[in-house]
Every structure is written in C-alpha cells, then in structure tokens.
A and B are shown apart, each in its own frame.
Chain A
Amino acid sequence: MMRCGRFHYHAPRTLRDACAMLQDAGSDGMLLAGGTDLVPNMKRRQQTPKVVISLRHVAGLRDAGPDGNRVRLGAMLTLSDLTAKEEVRARHTALFKAAAQVATPHLRNMGTLGGNLCLDTRCNYYDQNYEWRKAINFCMKKAGEICWVAPSSRRCWAISSTDTAPALIALGAEVALATRDGERTLGVADFCRDDGIQYLTRNPDEILTQVLLPIPAPGESSTYWKLRRRGSFDFPVLSVAAWIRRPPEGRVEAARLVLGSVASRPVIAEAAAGLVGTTLSEDVIEAVAEEASRLAKPLDNTDFSLGWRKKAARYLITGALRELRGDDPQTLGPLARRAAELAPVG
C-alpha cells in the first residue's frame, strides 16, 4: 500500500497542550482530526508534516449543546455524530444534508466537523500521488511553479470541496479558534479565503474548537443540494446552500444563497437579495438562479465538463429554491432526486 513519510506523533489530552504543541511545531506541524483528508494527503506527499498532533484525545472537543440562542458543536464531533442528532436534522436542515452527503458512511464515522471545514482544496492535477505529480512536474500548490489548470495564472485555483462550509455560511454560523493565548470567533464566511493554497484565514497556531450555530427562529428554513456523479463517495462538483426566513404564507424577509465547489472558497451569491419581499414565484426563482449561476466559473480540474457544470449550476439553484418554496424534490426529476437526496445515513 501507499505509505506515509516519517513523522512525530503527539496525542495531547488538553487543549492547552495541543495549542502549545502546535505552536512549538511551527510550520512543521499539522493537526490530525479524523485523518480522512490528512492521511491520504500524507501518503501522496501533498502534505508532509514532520509533526502530527492528534486532537482525538483532547477533552471537550466532542461536546455539543445549547448556548443562549446558539448551539455549540465541538470540532471533533464526527459527521456521523452530527447527523445522528435529532435537533440538527430537524432545525439545521442545510447542515444535516451537507454532513449526511459527505463521502461514505465509513468516512463519516471517522471524519469530523472541524476537519471538514479545514479540508484541503482539491484539484485533479494535485490530488494525485507523488509519482504522478512528478511526471507532470508538479504544480504550484505543492513543490512546483506552474498552475496546470490555468498555466498563465499566478495563483492556484484548487476548489473548496467541503460540504459543510457552504451550509454553515448560509446558516450564519461562526467558528471559534483557540491558541495558547486565547480564543477568537469569526463567521465561517470570513474563515474561508479565495486562494487555492491559503484557503483559510486560520493562523498556523490556531485550533478550531467549535462551531456556533444560531438556533433558527420560526419561519426559517434551509436546504443543501449537492451535485456529484454517484450517490455516495464523491466530493461535491457543485453545491448550493440556501436559507430563507419567511413567515407562513408571507413574503421572504431574508435570504442567503451560497455556492460550494465553484471557487477556492464557498461563494456567497448576492443575487439572493432578489428573493426578499417575494413569494418565490417561478419567475423570481429563475431570475435569481440565472444571476447566481454566473458566479460559477468552472475550471477543468474536477469531474464533469465545464460547460455542463455551468448548466447544472442553474438547475441546482432553481431546484434548491423550489424546495424552500415547498416543492417536493422527488417531483423535480432524477438529477434533483440525486442532488437533494440524503445519502443513507448510517
């Protein structure tokens, strides 16, 4: 099998120790949560930490519970933990659907919420083993100089492929980051950055400890649609997280629309403003979907062809908004069933 390089392994029991170890390791250190992203990356030499600090035994990171008008979700909750929580399923539909559609049941049993938010960006010139990347002479994200997707580009366009981040942005969530010296919180949107290499605003010595999620008020609803070739296993090729507040039978009071996997970070669609004050008529939905889909500027570094992904973007946005209006996704055709479908949660 493929083997990782050699590294030192730390297993701290307290957050303080973990922070200290991370700071001491400097640029050589990386955190290990479920390892479902980091370990394969280490095997392929995409990431080559000399010090690996496991968060598995750190006390408190797997806690969850209410905190005023918010819920706190520990970063080390596995995605299976998350989807098993009735209140997540009932109240935070977008997060539930996003978490439930990550990878496969086995990977969700290992993969964590924090790891998912910090997931490395993806590109099929980069998600290859060392020998393959050596054959093409590497790329700037690791060990090389050029971007193979856009050879004249000076930046990396690797794609943000986390399922939960777009959902959490749509839900207005924040993250808490801890260092040896203290803690800060910031919106998930501000946690992400549009650069394939520096895709987070997290400082190297910070540990993501919690996600803070507003408890929805009456009339709020959300959803998450994910496009991928197969009903399991695959990373998103495109995703749509949508949230609205709309009193029963009333007009939309507030709306957020976030596209995932179209850039190096989740992209907030300002077009959502067009939903406010409407009753989500077909015309409104189509106009908003048309405008929002222009944000999808696909590059040839993931599954499916560019042109088709662009067409699918519009289709997916329309579908997600129709679902929030109250349409049953089951009636919207096979691709809608696939995109809105919940992978069997187990």
Chain B
Amino acid sequence: MSSRIAALDLQVVGKPRRRVDARAKVTGQTRFADDLFLPRMLHCKLLRSPHPHARIRRIDARAAVTAPGVKLVLTGVDLPIPYGILPVSQDEHALCLNRVRFVGDPVAAVVAVDEQTACEALDGIRVDYEPLPTIADPEEALTTPQPRIQPYGDGNVHKKVALQFGEVDAAMASADRVFEDIFFYEGSTHLAIEQHAALAAVDPDGKLTLWSSTQTPHYVHRALSRVLGISPAHIRVIATPNGGGFGGKSDPFNHEIVVAKAAMLLGRPVKICLTREEVFYCHRGRHPVLMKLVTGVNGDGRIVAMDLQTLLDGGAYGSYGVASTFYTGALQTVTYEVPRYRFRGCRVFTNKPPCGPKRGHGTPQPRFAQEIQLDKIAVALGRDPAELRKSQLAKPHALTANYMRIGTMGLGECIDRVVAGSGWKNKHGKLRFGHGVGLACSSYLCGAGLPIYWNALPHSGVQLQLDRSGRVAAFCGATEIGQGSDDVLANLVAEVLGIDPFDIRLVSGDTDLGPVDLGSYSSRVTLMMGHAALQAAERARDLIAQAVSASLEVPASRLVFAGRRVFDAEAPARGVSFAEAVQRGEAMHGTLGTTGSYTPPESAAKYKGGGVGPSPAYSYSACVVEVQVQPETGWVEVEKIWIAHDIGRSLNPVLARGQVEGSVYMALGEALMEEMAYRRLPRHLSGVLVHKFPSLLEYKSPTTLEMPEVITYLVENPDEAGPLGAKEVGQGPLLPVMPAVANAVYDAVGVRVDEVPITPEKVLRALGDRESRRCGPKSFPFIVWPEPLKVAPPWEGGDGTAVNEKPRRRKEGVLMSPDVVQPGLAPHPSTPEAGQKTESSESSPEMPEVLR
C-alpha cells in the first residue's frame, strides 16, 4: 500500500503553500481570546495563595463584595466539585476548597466592571491561612510522607509503575559490558507568547458559551459540564486560535471554570486574561526527572537489555502526571532494538505548580539519557556513534519488546542525511580543542492510541457540507494552536476534491458546530483528523462523481477532480467546473453532506499501563549539532544544526519545516538555559517556597540572536497508517537536540554534562573535575518499587499480556455528566443584587469560614 501512496499524483499535498490562516495572522486580524469583547462584559481576577502549603481557615471578602464596581466574589465553596484531565486524578478545584498547595494556587475570584477595579478589590479579601510544612523536591517527598499534599497516592508519592519485558537481570548478567549512568533533566515551561485567556457568556436562550485559548476544547467541555452540573448539550466551548500551546493549554483550567460560573450567576459576559506570572503558575510543563539508566551491551555495542528508573517531580496536582510517568519509559524501545527491558517510574507531589505535558511529553528526558549513554558506549567501545546506532535500528513493521507496533522507520535514512550534510566523518573527534559535533536520534508518537477517558468512539470526526456555489465547508472539533491544523484540514479536502484550499470554509475548535476531535496534543491531529478528512472528502467525491458520471456518460472511475474541475481522464476537455459538478450532485442526491471519522487500530499492548505509548505510527529524527566551547569560561555556542525528520509524507513542506525549526528552537532553550527554578527561603526566616522568577525576562529562553543556522531534511517514506502516508512533525524533532548538544560538548572539550540545562557553570565544573570529567547527578535515591508486571516480549512467545496481572475489567467510563441541570441564573449570595452577606453554610470542620 505504501508504494501505492507514494505513487499518487498529488495536486495540493506536498506543495509548499502559504497556510490558510496566514493572512489573518500577519495582518493582525486573527482574533485571540484576549481580543474578544462583548457588550456589558465584566472582568475577572483571581486571588492567589502567597503560601506554598497551608490550610485556609477563613476568608473574609466583605470589603471586596461591597467595593464599588464589584459584581461578584467567588470562593471554593461555590465550585465544590473536583475535576482534572485524567479520570484517575480528579484532584483540582476551580478555587481551592480548604487548602492551598503552591504559591499561586487560586483561592478567590473577583468579577468587576473592569480589570482595574477587579485588581484593586483583591486587596479587600482577607484570607487567614495556617501554614503547613512544604515539600520542595522528590527526595523530600519520598522521605516525608506527612503532611500529605494530596489525599490520594501513598504519602507524597503520587504513582509508581513497574513493567518488565523479558528476563532483564539474566540478560544483563550475560552482557559483555554494562553501562550505568545517572541523568537529570530539569523542568521547563512552554512559554507560549499568548497568555491564557477566556471569556464566558450566557446565550439569550440560556445556554453557556466559553471562548478560551485551549488546545482541548472537548476536555474543557467535559470538565465544565461536570463542575457546573449542567448538560454538555447546553455548553458550547470555542477554542480561539492559540498563540502557541505546546501542551500548556491542554488541561481544563480553573480560570475557565470560574468565568463560566460567574457568567451563569451574573447573566453577563465575564472575561479573564492571565498575567505572565499566572501562566507560570498554570504551568503543566516538563517534569524534572532524575533517571538511572543501566544498559547491557555485547562486544560490538548492541543492546542486550535495558533497565530504566525515573523519578518525576510532579508539582502539587495530578494533571497528566500518570501518563507522563508512563511516557518516561514507553518510547525507549522504538528507536533501537531493545530485546529486554525493565522500566520503573515514580511521580511525587511537591508544593510547586503542577507539571504536565510539554512538547514531547515525558519522552525527552529518557531520550536525553539514552542518547548520551549511547555516545558513552560508542566512546568506550571505540565505535562511531552514528554507526553504532545504525547497526541496531528497531525493525520496521514489527513489535517492540513492550508491544509498540512500528510501521515505517526512516531513522537510518535520517542518520545518513545528517551525517552527510554535516560532514560528520571529517568532524567527529577531529576538530580542534573547543570545537565539536554531537549526534542523537529520537522517535515520537503520531497520536496516542487511547483517549484520555476510556471510550470506544472515534478520536476525530470531520463533516463536509457542499453547496451549489461550489463552496465546501469543513467542520471539525480540531484546534488550531498555531501548528497549522486548519491548513491540514483544508489541504486534504482540497486534494481529494480537486479544488484550492482557499476555497474551503473552515469551522474548527467549536464543540457546537463540529464533530468531536480530542484536541491538539500528542501529535495526533494530522494523522487522526487527516484520516477523517480524507474519508469525508472521498465520500463527497463519490457522490459527486456518481452524478457527473451519469450526466457526462463517463464511468465514475475515469473522472478526475483537479484544478476546480471534474473531467474525463481520457478526454480532459470533457468535463464540468467543480461548482457545476456539485450542482449535479445536489440534483441527484439532495443537499450534499458527508462525514468521516477515525479510530486508531487496537493496540498490541494488553498489559496494564500498555495504554501509554501505542500509536498508529512513529516519526523519527536524527540531528547533528556543532558547537564551540570556550574552555576558560565554559561558554557554549551552538554554531549549526543539521536535522532530518522522517515525516512519512509532508503535506505542506513550509509548515513542516516551520515545525522542525520551532522544535529546534525550543529544544535549544531546554538544552542551554531554561529552568523552572524554585527557591526556598531560609527556614528560620520564612521557609517559603517560591518560583525563582516567574517572568518572561528572567526565565531565560533563547532569542532569535541565539538561533543558529538550521539545515532541515524532510525524509518522506509514507506510512500506511498515516493519511496519504503522513506522520507527525510537531514534537519529534525537539527530542534529539538536547542530547546532541551534550554529545557535541563532549566532542569539543572532553567532558560530560549529564543534565540540562548545559550552562557555562556546569561545563566549567566538569572541566575542573579532573577525576570524573563530568557534571551531573551522582546518585539515584532508593525507591521501594512494586513487583513489576511481567510481559514476555513477542520473540519470547508473549501475547502482550502480563503473566502476573489480575484480569482487568475495562470500566466503561461516564462520557459526560448525566445530571442535567438548567443553568441557574438566580443571584448569587455575593452579588450586590442579592445584597446581604451570608455565612458559608458548610459546617464541615475542614472547610474554611467564608464571610461576604
């Protein structure tokens, strides 16, 4: 099939094209959430905790409630139902109920006539806190079970997972060499330029609409229904174009729920725009991960077994954390052959903003470890790092030890391209002191095989509607976050119908108007929405072709859709315009509309935890980085990068290259400077634990001046699991860059920095350490692991199930909140209309007293 795909004669796909939303973006006409204004709109501000961990004893909001211009004050008791992105971590409240868990946790909300008034009214809310001891890092979390940050988990351990594929210990014992290394990957945040913003309004018919800069309107839709207790059919979520997301807008957020509630209570539109500091507190970024990687190899460096332990600093809430934990192990097997593999991961709670998914979700950290360790193995065995990798690439069209099903696998070609392009053979180990090159590879998912909540429905749906003018409208729940998802939709529909992408009216990211798409995360959109779009478009083409075939008396199979015409392949002059063709279709079939949908194939991984990692296809990347390192100061300058990405097929090369370059840019930030650093003040003085500098100036991220030249190679090897063979490009190309930089630093000055960011201080420290020639973590804490689930690899007769697992019943989850409640528009106790202050009726001793 893939050769058939490769041979397709494509009109739109693969041609470098201006993206469909480019004009609006470059002329400043794209309307982001913050650009929306509605008549009588009110503004909301959140009061956030100044304590990293405390019980809320009392909230006195009387001064705020009575301040001129203030319309409403909300506290935790107003939104008591918890929520969270994963069904297993429903641990968030829109406003903290009785406890705050990090500096920045929201406690109360003020809604007022304008933002200034709302800001000022925050000063009128007095919160009485009882501070609690804090947990600053994973080591502390492991050794301090009390006080617990969350009521679930084990002490302050959120989740431990252990999986074993084959007899790892025996294989390790038989290995010629065993390499054991400890790595640390610092946390970083997404730093999308657009700060989160949301606007909620009650429609004239009483239904609720929320506009929000979210990557996952469908999940926000579910959370709103749950927390507000209203039917999802009465809620509409519109994802506004995101000014960047990168995973940071994939959770349902407290501010979204708060403005929705406020709009319902007040019957007026309510808007909120977060400040940059607040975005740092929303976080959900890269988990800091400490890793211990033990790999056994035979004499020529082939891996015989791998044993990985990871320790994740999760911050104060669950978020995607359980999935993140599995992801720190799941994709270690898809690049090189790993015949036996053990993975154990542990996520802990700390009093910091929650970590979650950031571009590469959970996989850049272990990838960093593995790619540096391979470099060390190559050095120890005197092999060329590129050759060492090429000699043991994972097999295409095969299962891995942990039952990931690989389709096409272009990593070998990726390596060849960057090796040739960079002149690797003449550079590696051969440049003068202070100059070096490093190589690393990676792989990433093209969409998660399972949805976030269990269900058997399609992951993406597309609906087309065509009319006699020749206009085609495409409806889809997919979310444009800047990555170009709208362009993919237009591109594929145009290709099939033989029209121009600009002819298509796109309606996306709107839960009322389009079929469900799960959202812009896990690099799923091109593949999943792409299939749905192709299916819908092919169905439309078939309907039209049937009608045109009848009127032109040409067999439908001979009709070509191209250049806004439908014509006979054998006599191209014989044909009709596309609009006429649609008219004939409409005449024959009635109003023309079609749908398409996509559900990923069933995974081969049947063991518990096997839900994370399987994907319809995997993309591959290889990268060579050239650096100059100044030995006196440790200063590292990245001079040039060559990167090859196996994209299957590039639908629009302009966007594909943009994604590769953007990934490289983001990766360089993580490699060299970005750091979610926290600071705990001296214990005897305040002991408070704060983000070191939640600001765009002091959180160091590269500028254009730090960006080196990047040479991008797109390797096109169509994968039959992808639409027209396409695979992802949004996340994968980020992954190889960090370890390639570390390997290049080693090539330049002979020292290892086994952690990111690779700062000049660390390089200098490594240079100064004559013994180890290394800077990095020295030990991995002792963790009591559960007995791993044991799964025999496919080549040892396994069937994807664990031998020591109790049979599981797959719970059919509740798709949406069943309780249908009409939105209540009665005045809230704190509205001036309702007048008087009321005491919170909650009498539970745990609940704070609320005065307003």
B-binding residues in A (CB < 8 A): 1-3, 124, 127-129, 131-132, 134-137, 146, 148, 151, 229-234, 303-305, 307-308, 311-312, 315, 333-335, 337-338, 343-344
List of A residues within 8 angstroms of B116 by Cβ: 3
CA–CA, A129 to B637, complex, Å?
33
A-B interface, 8 closest residue pairs, ranked by CB to CB distance from nearest: A231-B705, A334-B637, A335-B635, A135-B50, A308-B761, A333-B630, A305-B761, A3-B119
CA–CA, A137 to B688, complex, Å?
9
- B814 at the A/B interface (Cβ < 8 Å)? no
The one of A230, A303, A304, A307 in contact with B703, judged by C-beta atoms closer than 8 angstroms, is A230
Q: Which of A134, A137, A234, A308 has the most CB of B within 10 A?
A: A308
Q: Once the chains bind, are A230 and B119 in contact (CB under 8 Å)?
A: no
- B628 at the A/B interface (Cβ < 8 Å)? yes
CA–CA, A190 to B702, complex, Å?
37
**Given A311-B633, A315-B633, A151 contacting B685 (CB threshold 8 A):** yes
List of A residues within 8 angstroms of B685 by Cβ: 146, 151
Q: Once the chains bind, are A311 and B764 in contact (CB under 8 Å)?
A: yes
CB<8 Å pairs between A and B, sample of 17:
A1-B115, A2-B275, A3-B119, A124-B692, A131-B48, A132-B690, A135-B103, A136-B690, A229-B673, A232-B704, A304-B761, A311-B633, A333-B635, A334-B630, A335-B630, A338-B637, A343-B705
CA–CA, A304 to B693, complex, Å?
13
- Chain A-chain B contacts (Cβ-Cβ < 8 Å), number: 100
The one of B115, B277, B698 in contact with A131, judged by C-beta atoms closer than 8 angstroms, is B277
List of B residues within 8 angstroms of A136 by Cβ: 681, 686, 688, 690
CA–CA, A305 to B705, complex, Å?
23
Residue of B nearest to A304 (CB): B761
Residue of B nearest to A337 (CB): B637
Q: How far is the CB of A194 from chain B (nearest CB, A)?
A: 24
CA–CA, A151 to B682, complex, Å?
9
A-binding residues in B (CB < 8 A): 48, 50-52, 103, 115-116, 119, 273, 275, 277, 434, 628, 630, 632-637, 673, 681-682, 685-686, 688, 690-695, 697-698, 700, 702-706, 759-761, 764
Residue of B nearest to A336 (CB): B630
Q: Once the chains bind, are A232 and B705 in contact (CB under 8 Å)?
A: yes
Residue of B nearest to A341 (CB): B705
The one of A2, A134, A137, A334 in contact with B635, judged by C-beta atoms closer than 8 angstroms, is A334
**Given A232-B705, A233-B703, A311-B764, A124 contacting B690 (CB threshold 8 A):** no
List of B residues within 8 angstroms of A333 by Cβ: 434, 628, 630, 632-633, 635
List of B residues within 8 angstroms of A137 by Cβ: 686, 688
List of B residues within 8 angstroms of A304 by Cβ: 759-761
Q: How far is the CB of A142 from chain B (nearest CB, A)?
A: 16
The one of A3, A230, A335 in contact with B700, judged by C-beta atoms closer than 8 angstroms, is A230
Q: How far is the CB of A308 from chain B (nearest CB, A)?
A: 4
**Given A136-B688, A136-B690, A231 contacting B633 (CB threshold 8 A):** no
List of B residues within 8 angstroms of A135 by Cβ: 50-52, 103, 688, 690
Q: Once the chains bind, are A1 and B681 in contact (CB under 8 Å)?
A: no
List of B residues within 8 angstroms of A311 by Cβ: 632-633, 764
Q: How far is the CB of B404 from chain A (nearest CB, A)?
A: 39
List of B residues within 8 angstroms of A134 by Cβ: 50
CA–CA, A134 to B704, complex, Å?
35
List of A residues within 8 angstroms of B760 by Cβ: 304, 308, 335
CA–CA, A247 to B573, complex, Å?
85
Q: Once the chains bind, are B628 and A334 in contact (CB under 8 Å)?
A: yes
Q: Once the chains bind, are B698 and A127 in contact (CB under 8 Å)?
A: yes
Q: Once the chains bind, are B698 and A124 in contact (CB under 8 Å)?
A: yes
CA–CA, A234 to B690, complex, Å?
22
Q: How far is the CB of B668 from chain A (nearest CB, A)?
A: 11
List of B residues within 8 angstroms of A128 by Cβ: 693-695
List of A residues within 8 angstroms of B52 by Cβ: 135
Residue of A nearest to B638 (CB): A334
CA–CA, A60 to B846, complex, Å?
65
List of A residues within 8 angstroms of B48 by Cβ: 131
